[in-house]
Amino acid sequence: MTDTVKIVSPIDGRVYAERRIATGAEIESAVARTRRAREAWGEVTVKERAKFLEHFLDALLAMNEEIVPELAWQMGRPVRFGGEKRGVEERSRHMIAIAEESLRPSPRPDKPGFTRWIAREPLGLVMVIAPWNYPYLTAINSIVPALMAGNAVILKHASQTLLVGERFAEAFKAAGLPDGLFQNLVLNHADTERLIGSGQIDHVNFTGSVEGGRRIERAAAGTFASLGLELGGKDPAYVRADAKLDYAVENLVDGSFFNSGQSCCGVERIYVHADVYDRFVAGFVEVAKGWTLGNPLEADTLVGPMATPRFADLVRGQTLEALRKGARAHLNTRHDLDEEGSPYLAPEVLTGVNHQMSVMREESFGPVVGIMKVADDAEAIQLMNDSPYGLSASIWTEDLDAAARIGAKVETGTVFANRCDYLDPALVWTGVKDTGKGGALSEIGYQNLTQPKSYHLRAV
């Protein structure tokens, strides 16, 4: 009997698509084709690679009208947001544009009788293991720069969003990318770990859970493959007394509830200075009331279902625990287990929370946010750092010097001031603590996808 993966749609609980898992022989054949293709690709100039990648991007963007409802069926994002087209284009075009400069050999200072430089060479075969929450954006972070740097790519996409891998493959085929250079494989966990441990993979980029990252590390142990891991998050925001409150409220509601809270850098906890706490909470609750739950295929829906019922049940559990411990819910009049097992979960705002509650320290990855009052910057910094994670943190203030000073003391990969939930491709995307290791985007993304090689030439 052939093993398959089923995409169960969060919209109606029915199987939306089903795909066959690759056999061992098919995996071996794919790896062999990919390695052969990479050897030839290494001889192609960066400018020529850019043409292929630009054609790929154009082909992918041309599919967006079909991709948007397809995403809603696979993982529940409302169609009104138009998919991930804008971010995919921004990141891809930036990484293509900076490739030549980022990959150019770096000459060393003159030394009589010697010519010296450091070159960047491709690692070889890059495996991208992509998640379901932003299935195009997270994959594009590695796929485009990996190919631009001269690597070959194998993509293993999340089972919830398998059709995304097929869209990538279709776009690469339309762009005329050399056969085998990009491979989309449907794999189970055991075969994925077996492939990583085979020694045939040179770099793994994984976005997912902390436990998933640990499994990747164990699978790669002894192979000396390099790793890029973006794992859990519990991103904080701090609203200072001098913040523009209306602006902060509007953006933090969006940062908390967009994509049903299923964003790697979504805001999961907010600390507000005591002087503006009451006004901020009142404004936040009022704006949040407009983020209503509904069918993601309807044009006016702002919040769709979570990707699976078990994700929604985790958030329900955290919310109920907080309420039992004294928190106050502001959006929903009742919280019980009547809806357990449903992916549809309305946004919630909690006050009266503290760090003894899991909703303030453990990853939620759903449409719930806790708001706490703080006395000053020092207390805000202490609470922001009271987490095993560190992906991004946002500070809301009119004093950018203060934001930089506070940000320097926050344990995080990215410090925002007066914005959140955004990846600037000119800046490295990285994390600290249990959020992971490595970095994507910017010139540093290229450094992590290449191997330095020194040239030390002496004239005789």
User: 227 with 85, same domain?
Assistant: yes
As a whole number of Å, the CA-based R_g of the chain is 23
Structure tokens at 434: 């249990």
Place of tokens 């003159």: 110
The boundaries of the domain holding residue 240 are 235-424
Residue 340 has pLDDT above 80, yes or no: no
Token pair, residue 254, equals: 């969006």
Confidence of residue 421 (pLDDT cuts 50, 70, 90): confident
- Tell me the pLDDT band of 333, cut-offs 50, 70 and 90: low
Domain harbouring 449, CATH code:
3.40.605.10
- For the chain, what is the mean pLDDT? 96
Domain contains 96: yes
pLDDT tens string 150-161: 999 999 999 999
In a domain, 110, yes or no: yes
CB atoms within 10 A of CB 42: 14
Pair (21, 124) in one structural domain: yes
* Residues forming a β-bridge with 394: 237, 416
Say what the pLDDT of residue 361 is.
96
> Nearest 5°: phi and psi at 289?
-60, -25
Two tokens, residue 354: 């503290």
Whether 199 and 261 map to the same domain: the answer is no
C-alpha span between 258 and 262 (Å, rounded): 7
pTM (predicted TM-score): 0.96
Strands 432-433, 389-390: pairing kind: antiparallel
pLDDT tens per residue, range 390-413: 999 999 999 999 999 999 999 999
Give the whole-angstrom CA distance, residue 310 versus residue 263.
Answer: 17
Task: For residues 399 and 320, state if they share a domain.
Answer: yes
Could you tell me if residue 241 is inside a domain? yes
CA triple 304-309-312, angle to 5 deg: 70
What the block records as the tokens of 374 is 């703080």
265 catalytic, yes or no?
no
Place of tokens 């397809």: 70
Q: How far apart are CA 136 and CA 266, in angstroms?
A: 17
Please answer whether residues 133 and 264 qualify as being in contact, where contact means their C-beta atoms are separated by less than 8 angstroms: yes
Output the six-digit token pair for 21.
């898992």
d(CA 321, CA 324): 5
CA distances from 198 to 35, 36, 437, 449 (A): 14, 17, 22, 19
Task: For 434-449, write each residue's pLDDT tens digit.
Answer: 999 999 999 999 999 9
> What would the pLDDT profile of 378-394 be if each residue is shown by its tens digit?
999 999 999 999 999 99
**Are residues 167 and 295 part of one domain?**
no
162/125 same-domain check: yes
Q: What is the average pLDDT across 263-269?
A: 96
DSSP, res 435 = T
Q: Answer yes or no: is 44 within a domain.
A: yes
Give the separation between CA 353 and CA 120, rounded to whole angstroms.
49
* Structural domain contains residue 429: no
Residues paired with 129 in a beta bridge: 156, 206
Q: Three-state DSSP class for 270?
A: strand
Confidence of residue 337 (pLDDT cuts 50, 70, 90): very low
Q: What are phi and psi of 326, to 5 degrees?
A: 110, 0
Q: Which two tokens stand for residue 454?
A: 């020194």
In a shared domain, residues 251 and 168: no
300/388 same-domain check: yes
Please state the rounded mean pLDDT for residues 98-107: 98
H or E stretch at 107: strand 106-107
Q: Are residues 247 and 221 in the same domain?
A: no
Q: What are phi and psi of 23, to 5 degrees?
A: -80, 170
pLDDT of residue 1: 46
- The total of structural domains in the chain comes to 2
Whether 358 maps to a domain, the answer reads yes
CATH code: domain of residue 382? 3.40.309.10
Q: Which residue type is seen at 268? A: E
Cα 227 → chain centroid: 15
Selection from 138, 96, 121, 151 nearest residue 436 by Cα: 138
296 in a structural domain:
yes
Taking a C-beta distance cutoff of 8 angstroms, is the pair 142, 440 a contact?
yes
In angstroms, the CA 268 to CA 255 distance is 9
Judge if 188 and 281 occupy the same domain: no
pLDDT digits (tens, 9 = 90+) for 24-57: 999 999 999 999 999 999 999 999 999 999 999 9
Of 18, 54, 66, 230, the active-site residue reads 230
Position of tokens 């994507």? 440
**234-263: average pLDDT:** 98
SS3 42: coil
Q: Is 420 part of the annotated catalytic residue set?
A: no
- What lies within 8 Å, CB to CB, of 238 at 6+ separation is 270, 271, 272, 374, 377, 380, 381, 384, 393, 394, 395, 396, 406
Residue 430 lies in a domain: no
Q: Per-residue pLDDT averaged across 263-278, rounded?
A: 97
Catalytic residue (one of 70, 84, 264, 363): 264
Q: Could you tell me the pLDDT band of residue 110, with boundaries at 50, 70 and 90?
A: confident
Residues 242 and 192 reside in one and the same domain: no
290-321 as b/e, with b when 16 or more CB fall inside 10 Å? ebebebbeeeebbbbbbbbbebbbbbbebbbe
- What is the token pair recorded at 304? 């769709």
Strands 203-207 and 114-122: unpaired
Return the pLDDT at 335.
Answer: 58
At 391 the three-state DSSP class reads coil
Same domain (yes/no): 147, 9? yes
Q: Judge whether residue 458 has pLDDT over 60.
A: yes
